[in-house]
Amino acid sequence: MTASEEKFTRQTLLDVQTLTPSLFTLRTTRDAGFRFRAGQFARLGVTKADGSTVWRAYSMVSAPYDEHLEFFSIVVPDGEFTSELSRLKVGDTLMVDKQAFGFLTLDRFVDGRDLWLLATGTGLAPFLAILQDLEVWQRFERIVLVYSARHAAELAYQSLIHSLKELDYLEGAADKLTYIPVVTREEVPGALHGRITTLIENGELERAAGLELTPEHSRVMLCGNPQMIDDTRAVLKKRDMHLSLSRRPGQVAVENYW
């Protein structure tokens, strides 16, 4: 099979950053032909010592216009993929599928005034891509990013999140963004404490945002732990907020590639 016939390209690892013993980021070169919408994911491949290849899905952190690709990963103890991935060094090769996948994109919603982005752990990745793309700032009047981690040290990309308001092309639109960090296993100044579902049910999340979650105006994206997604969907359903489908537009969009 020739390189043109392969379903993937081989990209070079440009940077590896270890955030905590269990979290790290990767930055690679980007094939000139690789296209994606903010919020989509790529399938990454690593070669094991026995010569076999293991593939996993990772959302792009980087914006669709960036010349590189960036990914956010957790180390799964004894995990077949992340054990290999976490050993890679700058200059090593990573395989990237030629096609982007996923439907956690803004075209899931046909309307809406306020956008809520609710993430746990590495589920933050697609929302960073969305927030670096101009479309979200043009479409919504208010944007609320809620990022939950177990410990404060696991709240990644804080400098990028805070620098979003300084992006040149926003021209004042950055005031639309409210960022709410959430830490579940310790009390941290400036962060909410508790599970996202609890903070929705007791009204604390809306008070922190200064905004109501309503079927009429709110559109909600969920990415992260599968249990969080299931539980949050159930809480939102009680508020008459439902999954947005092509045949039935709704208020909620999720990504399930775990």
| Alpha-carbon span 180 to 207, nearest angstrom | 11
Domain membership flag for residue 165: yes
Over residues 153-187, the pLDDT tens digits come to 999 999 999 999 887 777 767 789 999 999 999 99
Q: Are residues 29 and 119 in the same domain?
A: no
What's the CATH code of the domain at 76? 2.40.30.10
What residue numbers bound the domain in which 170 lies? 106-254
DSSP 8-23: EEEEEEEEEEEEETTE
Cβ atoms within 10 A of the Cβ of 254, count?
Answer: 21
45 occurs within a structural domain: yes
Q: Which of 70, 97, 124 corresponds to the end of one domain? A: 97
State whether 123 and 223 are in the same domain.
yes
Of the candidates 27, 119, 23, the residue with the CA atom closest to the CA atom of residue 73: 23
Question: Quick one: which H or E segment has residue 211?
Answer: none
Domain identity same for 79 and 124: no
Q: Which region, left, alpha or beta, applies to residue 214 given φ > 0 means left and ψ of -120 to 50 means alpha?
A: beta
- 121/248 same-domain check: yes
pTM: 0.95
Instruction: Output the pLDDT for position 77.
Output: 83
pLDDT at 257: 56
Q: Could you give the number of structural domains in the chain?
A: 2
Tell me the residue type at 244: S
- Three-state DSSP class for 195? coil
Q: What is the pLDDT of residue 16?
A: 93
Quickly count helices (H) and strands (E) in the chain. Answer: 7, 12
Asked whether residue 2 is domain-assigned, the answer is: no
CATH number at residue 136: 3.40.50.80
Query: If you count them, how many residues does the chain have?
Result: 258
Predicted confidence pLDDT, tens digits, the chain (258 residues)? 555 568 999 999 999 999 999 999 999 999 999 999 999 999 999 988 898 999 999 999 999 999 999 999 998 888 888 888 888 899 999 999 999 999 999 999 999 999 999 999 999 999 999 999 999 999 999 999 999 999 999 999 999 999 998 877 777 677 899 999 999 999 999 999 999 999 999 999 999 999 999 999 999 999 999 999 999 999 999 999 999 998 999 999 998 655
Q: Write out pLDDT tens, residues 115-136.
A: 999 999 999 999 999 999 999 9
